[in-house]
Amino acid sequence: MLEQAKAIIEQNWRGGFTIPTSRLYPFQWMWDSGFVALGTSLYDIEKSLTEIQSMFSGQWENGMLPHILFHSETEKTYFPNFDFWNSQVNSGAPNKPKSSGITQPAVFGFVLEEIFNKHHDDPKVFEAIKALYPKVVKYHRFLYNYRDPWNEGLFFIYHPWESGRDNSPIWDESLNRIEIDFDRLPSYTRRDIQIADASERPTKDQYDRYVYLMELGKSYDYEGKEIAEQSPFLIQDCMMNAILIRSNEGLINLGSQFGYDTEEIEAWQKTSRTNFSKKFWSDDLGTFVSYDARINKQILHKEIGGYVALFANVASKEQAKSIAEELESIKNRGYFLCPSFDIDSPLFDSKRYWRGPVWPQMNWMISKGLDNYGYSDLAKTVKEDLITLVSKLGFYEYFESNKSDVEHLESGYGGGNFSWTASTIVHFLTD
């Protein structure tokens, strides 16, 4: 299995970076890239560092790190491609590589820390990480400067694709509120449903709204400040902010190694940590939830993003216990961990994208989180469940979560030979 995983990563390597999977996602995706670098760092450190350096070659002058880098401009099989994003509307966006205009979870702070901890004796790794460090800080500064107009230390997103959990039901209500002026919606042709099964992908209504929000971002040069006033979709996502907090911690720990001043990061971290629970904890649901900043309300659904607070060490002992109990009960009710959405909700769909299936990289963060709070048996289940799914169904993008359904299946869902699936498996089997 380990050899197979490495072979998949090799197959998806494009001389400098790794694509998530051929056909469906033929470019470099931001958080995928971080998870792939974690995996490759365990057996090919050069490749791992190159992956991250390639990602930062697309960083904007304002610090933004785009969710897709279109290293190839001749690959025409993807929508929305670089010409549709037209990130050049922002004068600080590099001309090469071209990029999208939105971001994704801020994984690089913790990724660099993980890699550093394993290789700190290697002077080449030391120097490479020392050089990447200020770029990660610059990215975090972007989030705090452009995406936190309320100075709460909890930044907003204005597009569901930024969250990494693209069509989770948690976005439904906020998206449905958007009134689209169809005369102003550009015409477009989806590619995803030509490649993957439409029943596993977002609906047309959802997709129109994705394009609408893209256009909105573009009309403000993708820079954030006016977007906060104008966007009908304005969310403080609990998972994105948990990951940022975990990455801040990584930067604070690394800073002392390199002799960097970490005062600025510590100030961000203090505000973020103070407000995280206040804003995101729901006593009624016993978990962390995201916040719709447009209507000033919590988004009251149980979902996988809430568990990531454990990975960021930002939950109290009682909060962690409540989440661990929830996972334990999901497990006992016949599901592989961790289903991406509340199995009791009518919106749960164990097949469709972020509406119920298991996602490999999530298991990596959640198992670490459970370990942080002493739930090591559960952490082990989270790892073993993914190994079981991959060995039965293959290295797919995501997986059926219902155990009795898995018995009748021969493959996973979405793209095959998937990089983050392979790299998470490398991690679980070697680390």
CB of 147 closer than 8 Å to CB of 155: yes
With beta carbons less than 8 A apart as the criterion, state whether 240 and 157 touch: yes
Which of residues 29 and 375 has its CB atom nearest to ligand GLC in the complex?
29
Q: Which residues contact 184 (CB under 8 A, 6 or more apart)?
A: 215
Residues between 13 and 32 with contacts to ligand GLC, criterion CB under 6 A: 20, 25, 29, 31-32
- Tell me the per-residue interface mask from 401 to 430 with ligand GLC, x by CB under 6 A, - otherwise: ------------------------------
223 catalytically annotated: no
Can you give the length of the chain in residues? 431
- Read off the tokens for 57: 């070659």
- Given the complex with ligand GLC, which of 126 and 207 has the nearer CB atom? 207
Catalytic site residue from 113, 221, 385, 397? 397
Q: 405, 388, 133: which is closest to 261 by C-alpha?
A: 133
User: What are 114's two structure tokens?
Assistant: 């993980």
Least CB distance from residue 160 to ligand GLC, whole Å? 9
CB of 24 to ligand GLC, least distance (A): 8
166 is catalytic: yes
Number of residues that bind ligand GLC (CB under 6 A): 7
From the CB of 315, what's the least distance to ligand GLC, in Å?
23
Residues 6 or more apart whose CB falls under 8 angstroms from that of 68 comprise: 27, 28, 29, 30, 85, 99, 100
Residue of 166, 215, 349, 371 marked catalytic: 166
Q: Which CB atom, from 269 or from 423, has the smaller least distance to ligand GLC?
A: 423
Show the site string, 153-182: x = touches ligand GLC by CB under 6 A, - = not. -----------x-x----------------
Which residue has 């198992």 as its token pair?
Answer: 367
**With respect to ligand GLC, which residue has the nearer C-beta, 20 or 224?**
20
CB of 340 to ligand GLC, least distance (A): 10
Q: Which of residues 28-87 bind ligand GLC (CB under 6 A)?
A: 29, 31-32
Q: Please, what is the minimum distance in Å from the beta carbon of residue 29 to ligand GLC?
A: 4
Instruction: Report the residue number, 133 or 307, with the smaller CB distance to ligand GLC.
Output: 307
Tell me which residues touch ligand GLC (CB under 6 A).
20, 25, 29, 31-32, 164, 166
Catalytic (active-site) positions: 166, 397
